[in-house]
Chain A
Amino acid sequence: MSGREEGALHAPAHASHGVRGHGHDQPYTPVFAGERRRQLDELLTRYPTKMAALLPALWMVQETHGWVSEPAMAEVAELLELTPAYVKGVVTFYTMYHQHPVGRHFIQVCTTSPCGACGAEDVARAFLKHTGCGELGVTSADGKFTVIEVECLGACGFATPVMINDEFLESVAPESVPQILASLK
């Protein structure tokens, strides 16, 4: 078993997943048409190989669909002249690419030692309680929230840092969690 399986980051097998973008069973809409295709072509000029545009291309997929599905991996593979299996190998290495749909608000609470020593676990518990998720990695029944623990967000002097989608919050305390959640649509 890989070290990556340790810890509490991964969703349990029974986790229900929200439906941001297309779900597992919905038809796939290609990402790289029109403006996105133009952006990818511009990106390709920055590198001597097509493969180097893989991480940025996967980011564009996730920004469009909310997660990176297998059809999306196949689309990226074809454009960059890679195999879908290779792309999947890369996707699964990095923790930030979602391999399943997640809640509309994806909440990452840093609980690594420096933040842990400042009460980060209580912040994570407060998010689990007030979102109704109950368990790390599980999406709330309304598809609105997913809460995970994340390893060091690199803002240790501002414990506890929390990321909600692309929004980076500093110095979050358990008491401020209800207000933060209320501000999310």
Chain B
Amino acid sequence: MGYPHKSHPRETTVLSKHFGDPEARSLAGWRQRGGYRALEQALGMGPADIVNVVKESGLRGRGGAGFPTGMKWSFMKPGDGKPHYLCCNADESEPGTFKDREIMRWTPHALIEGCAIGAHAIGAETAYIYIRGEFTEPIKVMEQAVQEAYRDGILGKNAMGTGKRVDVHVHRGAGAYICGEETALMNSLEGRRGNPRIKPPFPAVAGLFGQPTTINNVETLAAVPHILTNGAEWYTGMSLSSPKSTGTKLFSVCGNIRKPGNYEIVMGFPFKDFLYDLCGGPLPGRRFKAIIPGGSSVPIQTLEEAEATMMDYEGFVAQGTMLGSGGVIVFDDSQCMVKQIARLSRFYAHESCAQCTQCREGTAWTTRILERIEVGEGTMEDLDTLLDIAENMTGKTICVLSDSCATPVVSGIQKWRHEFEAHITQKRCPMRTAVAA
């Protein structure tokens, strides 16, 4: 087990610099690598000054939506007499995404430091790191690191001797993709079923325990100490394409590709170079067919679209998709798109919290129809029905799980319609060998 590859010369390792180095896990090791200087600096600054640095850096949320972090923090009003909370979303469950797992496994103190700085910046005394239940190793590593930080006086009622209170607690989830949705996470943390809440009120007004709350992704918070140490200009300087996308980003790569794993690049890096140079290109004798660049919830790209993409928030949108969580899923020419999309749909059907009708029914219908087409029992009308259901699942529910199920179905039928039609006319999967059939 471990980090699967040495960093490529074209990577820019900020967050992943110490991946694979077990000594970086301990507090002493982290300190030797420059750890906790940013927190010390932050605790001597006023919250508004920290928020300004983060605003100027252009840092945007790394969990999926890409909302500017500094702006999110500025919605919190320190001194309003209410308890404030910081939630760290470590419920990494988006198929294709496994970057937060590596941050927590290898550099737990980076996350604790980011949480402590974030908490101070939004006027919170308590931060909760909500980690998905299956991440047994990251949970263990994070819990040990939190204990170390308490023992050393970094956390607690007198954080780093400044008289300020900063508590960080690890909270274990129990198996539910939907708890990565911010308000579902808050419900789950409160001891409820993980149903997303209707917004407004937004978390900054009434979030965890009904109090003003900010929620940030692991990767976002882990970037904050580096920004404070090196300055906002250093961060904005890391941008190869759109100036609205700054800094480095971790991309998780999986599926049919030579060198899967995590790669950290500067925003705006060419996707074509990324796929062929960094990740080694397709498996021997294969060709890439379809790429989902930002976790399973974003539109699927054709190879041509992917090769024309610059890897930042704007670049992915320009090529018909989204950066999302940075989970790159690659399918090669050995894969049946109908089967893959049906399997994704089954994922969403399984993970629907079932409170909205469009999602509860829509994810299940979509899955049944797709599975019917895959085994050769579909009709041409089914394709229209799927698109009709998808339309009714988009923009109509409390959260976007429903939209996420519809997205790959729509882009799949648009771009690989011939594969769907071949299943229907040949009454079988054309890619399945005679033996398997």
Contacts and interface: CB of A to CB of B under 8 A. Distances in A.
B175 A96 contact: yes
A168 B101 CA distance: 12
B327 A156 contact: yes
Given A3-B360, A159-B260, A113 B340 contact: yes
A154 B254 contact: no
A117 interface: yes
A48 B83 contact: yes
Nearest to B362: A3
A52 B1 CA distance: 34
B296 A113 contact: yes
B193 A90 contact: yes
Contacts of B174: 55, 58-59, 94-97
B346 A6 contact: yes
B193 A59 contact: no
A109 interface: no
A157 B260 contact: yes
A1 interface: yes
Given A93-B176, A114-B329, A159 B254 contact: yes
Contacts of B260: 156-159
A95 B344 contact: no
A117 B190 contact: no
Given A112-B95, A156-B327, A157-B4, A3 B175 contact: no
Nearest to A96: B175
Given A3-B360, A94-B176, A114 B191 contact: no
A179 interface: no
Given A154-B93, A157-B252, A96 B192 contact: no
A173 interface: no
B416 interface: no
Contacts of A95: 174-176
Contacts of A46: 167, 169
A153 interface: yes
A113 B436 CA distance: 19
B360 A116 contact: no
Contacts of B135: 154, 168
B95 A168 contact: no
B92 interface: yes
A154 to B, nearest CB: 5
A11 interface: no
B278 interface: no
B214 interface: no
Size band of the interface chain A makes with B: 35 or more
B254 A51 contact: no
B301 interface: no
Contacts of B1: 170
Interface in B238-280: 252-256, 260-262
Interface stretch (B51-59, B314-322, B349-357, B381-389): B349-357
A55 B176 CA distance: 12
Nearest to A156: B254
Contacts of A112: 95, 296, 343-344, 347
Most buried by A among B101, B193, B254: B254
A7 B363 CA distance: 11
Contacts of B169: 46
B101 A154 contact: yes
5 interchain residue pairs of minimum CB distance: A54-B191, A96-B175, A3-B352, A94-B174, A156-B254
B359 interface: yes
Contact of B134 (A82, A96, A97, A116): A96
Nearest to B262: A157
Most buried by B among A4, A113, A151: A113
Given A113-B344, A114-B254, A2 B360 contact: yes
A159 B252 CA distance: 13
Size band of the interface chain B makes with A: 35 or more
Contacts of B363: 3, 6
B172 interface: yes
B209 A6 contact: no
B349 A6 contact: yes
25 contacts: A2-B352, A3-B350, A6-B346, A6-B363, A7-B367, A48-B209, A51-B192, A55-B172, A59-B172, A59-B174, A94-B133, A94-B176, A108-B134, A112-B347, A114-B255, A114-B329, A117-B255, A117-B329, A117-B340, A150-B134, A154-B135, A157-B4, A159-B260, A167-B136, A168-B135
A56 interface: yes
A93 B191 contact: no
Given A113-B347, A150-B134, 9 more contacts: A3-B349, A3-B359, A51-B190, A51-B191, A95-B174, A118-B255, A118-B256, A151-B350, A155-B98
Contacts of B287: none
A145 to B, nearest CB: 19
B230 to A, nearest CB: 28
B188 interface: yes
A158 B307 CA distance: 24
Given A154-B97, A155-B98, A49 B190 contact: yes
B296 A94 contact: no
B417 to A, nearest CB: 20
A9 B171 contact: no
A32 B252 CA distance: 41
A135 to B, nearest CB: 18
B420 interface: no
Contact of B137 (A52, A97, A168): A168
A180 interface: no
A152 interface: yes
B324 to A, nearest CB: 14
A183 to B, nearest CB: 15
